[in-house]
Structure formats: structure tokens, C-alpha cells
Structure 1
Amino acid sequence: MADPVLELADELYALPPGDFTAARDARARAHKGTDLAAALKALRKPSTAAWVVNLLVRREAAQVDQVLSVGSALREAQAGMSADQLRALTRQRRQLTAAVTQQARSLAAEAGVRVTQAVADQVEATLTAAVLDERCGAAVRSGLLVGPLASTGVDEVDVAAALALPAALGHAAAPREAAPTPRPELRVVPDPEADAKALASAQETLDAAEETLAAATGEHEQAQAHVQELEARSMQLQADLDELRRRVAETEARAEQVDDELDDAEDARGEAAGALEAARAERDAAAAARDRLRPARAR
């Protein structure tokens, strides 16, 4: 590895998140008075999502290379695909990035770092960008990410903003074993700045915990608001149901009353029909009697 900054950066970005700042500052002091010291001091601490991707690259380099190879093949193949084929391709790509993201979360858990769903979403977005965009893939493979990536596969991505240093593009992170990586600096005598470093590390851990707490609080508040909204809707719908049941009961009562009135009306109609029939018979008899009398008068 020709570039000494890249060589040292590769070691620093392989460290656990809590060890990064102290190790970076120690390396910068070791090269005090040189250009290398300034370059090391300028290295930014990676976000949790970037650290998880960097860990994946170092621990599962073959898996990441396979993902990048699939991404290259997919980019070449999709030009001549139909809409249905592209949809199927998108589903396969999502399945692949989701599976690799889960693997990255497991590696982080083994290293003692909890990955929230928000961080996991950033990891998956970074892997998706690596599949869709060749330069994003190169940035991921460097293992020197300081922030997550996102790409639609259409617009150009500013990968430099997510990298520790410009020369990282084209660099390939060195593999690391699962065993804990030793501290980059071993001292025979006590470090006079040990307390300050421990305090800085504790503050960084606290800051990260507060960020996680804030994210969890926000998610809880959103979930609580959603529950309250659904409870209000449920109460309104229950009130609507009660009103409908009351109206149905009233309608059924009116229907029963009308049925009773209908029975009475039908009885009355039957009686009226009998009376009508009797009246007609009586009229017909009277008419017949009259007709019988007319010839006699005529004589």
C-alpha cells in the first residue's frame, strides 16, 4: 500500500467506534510536525451506519465483492429488459441488500454495537447505492466510509462527501478477522492523557447513546400518536355503530307496528269486501224485482 495515509486510515477505520478518536489523535501526535499528522487529524469519525458497512467489508469481503459483481451485472442487463423484468430485478436486488444488511447487523452485534432500525435502513440504502452506482460500489469497497450513501441509479452521487479522504476511492479495505483488534498503541509507561482520553471516549459514547435515545423517543412518540389516532377513529366508528343499531331497532319496531296495522287493514278489507258483495247482491235482487214489475204495469 503506497500511500501512508491510506495505510493508517485503513487501520483506524477498522477499529470499534469508541476507539477511533483516541487512536486517530495518538497517531497524529506520533507524526507531529509532518504533513501526515495534519492528514490524520482531519480524518472524521464514521457514523454508526458507515462503521457497520466498513465492518462488513472487512469481515465479509467476499460477500461484498459478490454483491458488487451482481450490481455490475444487473446494471448491464437492465438496459434491454421489459418493465416486468425490471420489476422482478428490483425485487431480487431488494432481497439481496436486505439479506446482506441483516448479516451486517449480526456482525455489529457480535462486536458489541447495537444497530437500530434507522441505522439499518441507512446501511441498506448504502448497499443499494453500491449495487446501482459503480462509484458508490467503489466507495463501499474502500472500507473508509464516514457517512451513508444513497442513490437512485440515475443522478450522480457525491461519494467524496461520504469518504474519509479523496484517495479512498479505488482503495480496497484489508480483511480483518473476527477476533478483537488490539489497540493501535501500546505503552510501557502510563499515558499522561489517559484520563482526558477516557473522558472524551465516554462523552462520545454518551453522545451516541443520546442520539439513539432521541431516535427511539421520536419513534415512540410517532407510534403513540398513531395509536391515539386509531383509538379516536375506533370510538367514532363504535358510536356510528351504536347509532345504526338504534335506528335499526326503531325501524324494526315500526315495521312490526306496520305489520300489525296491515293485518287489521286486511281484516277490514275482507269485511268490507263481504259487505260490498252483499250490497251488490241486494242491489241485483232489487233490480230484478223492479224489472219483473215493469211488464205488469205496462199491461
Structure 2
Amino acid sequence: MARTGKAEWGVRLRRRDVLVPLATAALVLVAWQLVVVFGIVPNFLLPSPTQVVSAIVEDAGLLAQHSASTVVEALLGLVIGVVVGSLVAVAMDRFEGVALALRPLVTVSQTIPTIAIAPLLVLWFGYGLLPKVVLVIISTFFPITVSLYAGLSSVDSDLIDLMRTMGASRWQIFWQAKMPAALDQFFSGLRISATYAIVGAVIAEWLGGFAGLGVYMTRVRKSFSYDRMFAVIVLISVLSLALMGLVDLIQHIAMPWKRAEGNSNHD
């Protein structure tokens, strides 16, 4: 009976976690619609949610094509950014001199706005795929580097000393002690990078390109089609949430002990 009661309580909590955000989003949309309908904000400045949905439906095919280009740029840049950031973090953890040398450079790399770098990348690499991918890499590698380095550095030194006394190699210490302890922080950084990836690709597309949501937004802005501009904003949010969901799925697969902890909490 006690276990059944805990299970029912867990189901109620999960339902609340879903229903409360959905209800809040619905209230925001209703308020937005009423603000436009009653003329509190002029319709030509702020389209209603129904107009935004209508714009998405009308331009569904075109938006799908541009979204595909943006997703390809974002995924390529994100994957390369994760690889580069992980290698830098591992090197910083392994060699103290590398950490001392690269830590200031990694921090400084994030003080330069991406909107300021994008025009230079277009001038250097043209209007093709490369400048978009490079900008996404610049945008995404920092959260990965910082989070993974912090996770690797946070491993209990007593555990490492114990493994050394038992004859474990550096490779075994890294894979069996450091990486499992650092994965939680790594995936936290990866979620942030996933949101930066789509935004970085769109920013690069604003300044030059042949396809992508940024290119589409630039074109509709010139015709003052605010409903279509809001449609792009909605799509950017949806794509970012989808990438974050993919990260959560990968974390679920990569960290089975977290699943075990969650199951034990529900029992």
C-alpha cells in the first residue's frame, strides 16, 4: 500500500510538472491575443498568435527548407564545438601549464559579441556554409569547456589516490573516475550550447547567406511582415527545445545510474 501511494504521488507530480507550464503558456497566449484584439498594442506592430500560426501554415514549405539549412549548420557547429571544447577541457585538466595558458583565452573568447565576429567571418570565408559553422563553434565550445573542466577538476582526490595505490593507470582513472563524475556538468554545459547553436547559426545567416531562418527573417523584415518574423522566432524556440530534448535523451542513455536513482526515488 505504501509503495502504491508513493507511485500515485509520483504520477501526480509528473502531471503537475507538465500541466502547470502548459497552463501558464496558454494564459500568456490568451493575454497576447486579447491585447491585440482590443487594440492595446497596434496590430501592425504586434501580430496576434493566430496571425503567427497562420503565417507558419502559409509558408510551411518555405520555412521547412530554411529550417533544414539552419539545423544542418547548427548541428555541424555543435558537434565540432563539443569535440574542440572537450579536448581543450581534458588538456587543461591533464596539464596544469595548459590550464594556466588557455583559461584566460577561453574566457576572453566569450567577451567578444558574436554579432561583431560574424561580419568578419563572412568577409574571410564567403557566404557559404563555413562561416555559419565557425560562428556556431565559437558560440558553443565555451560552455562545454568550462563545464567539463569543472567536472573533471571536482573529482575527489582521495578516490584518485586510492586508485593509484591499487595500480590504476591514468587512462583508467580518467574513464572510471573522472568522466562519470564530470558527465552531469558536461551535459549541463551541452544544454546551454544546444540553445546557442541555433541562435548562432541564425545570427550568421543575418549577415549573408542563401538559405536559413536568418536569411528568411531578413527578407520578410524588409517587407515589414511582422507575423512572419514572429513565426521565425517561434521556430527558433522550437528547434532549440528540440535540441535540448535530444541532449536530455543522450544523457538518459549515457548515465544509466541516474535512471537507477530516479527509479529508486519513485519506489
Classify the TM-score, shorter chain: under 0.3
TM-score normalized with structure 1 length: 0.25
TM-score normalized with structure 2 length: 0.28
